[in-house]
Amino acid sequence: MRIVSLVPSITEGLASVDRDALVGVTDWCTHPADLDVARVRGTKNPDLAAIRSLEPDVVIANKEENRELDVRRLRDSGVRVEVTDIRSVPDAVAAYEHLFDEVLGWERPGWLAEARERWCGPLPPVTRTVAVPIWRDPWMVVGSDTFTGDLLRRLGWENAFADSPTRYPHVTVEEIVEREPDVVLLPDEPYVFTADDGPEAFPDLRTELVSGRLITWYGPSLIEAADLAAT
């Protein structure tokens, strides 16, 4: 099996089982850190010629992270592309189960069963409300119908912008403050918020720096993300 993964989270998940099967990944596939395979540019601008030259048995993409145009062009040239659609933690678990069982024929890894047990049960009580900026200049936050929002809710954290009509709305700092979140979570991706870049915009609100991988990636990181409930 020769696999090209255009989804950083899924790259990490597949590498946890058989990294030798991965023959191509994106520049954003940073986990595992020592993965030494061909790079095919980014998730939004993959090098299609390079992908074809790798002669993959399957390319794995994601509806949100990758462009329909690139998927269509690969399929039109005879490349098999498996597209995942993940907007919740149960979606992610089910997508992996499908990949391992039906697409790859691999044994499911232990972390996947643990993730299903930890994340796919009843929703816990809400313990705090959070706002999650993902960009600044202009400011953008996590809105409705997102994997991150679902993960946060399953931690017991209500997204202050869960009622947004869009998934990643543009907002102002004033609009974030008006929602009166208990905490403004500042991840280090896609925008790299740091102690010196982000908290100063919210002097009257509590802010916390958080690993973007733990709240936006789906894969082995789900086991680590469960520990966020204790913070």
Per-residue pLDDT reduced to its tens digit, 8-22:
999 999 999 999 999
Dihedral over alpha carbons 112, 120, 223, 141 (to 10 degrees): 120
Query: Which residues have C-beta within 8 Å of that of residue 85, sequence separation ≥ 6?
Result: 62, 63, 64, 91, 95
- Residue 142: predicted pLDDT: 98
Per-residue pLDDT reduced to its tens digit, 102-136:
999 999 999 999 999 999 999 999 999 999 999 99
Per-residue pLDDT reduced to its tens digit, 34-66:
999 999 999 999 999 999 999 999 999 999 999
pTM beyond cutoff 0.85: yes
- Set out the domains of the chain in order of their start, with CATH numbers: 3-85 (3.40.50.1980), 128-230 (3.40.50.1980)
Query: Which residues have C-beta within 8 Å of that of residue 108, sequence separation ≥ 6?
Result: 96, 97, 100, 101
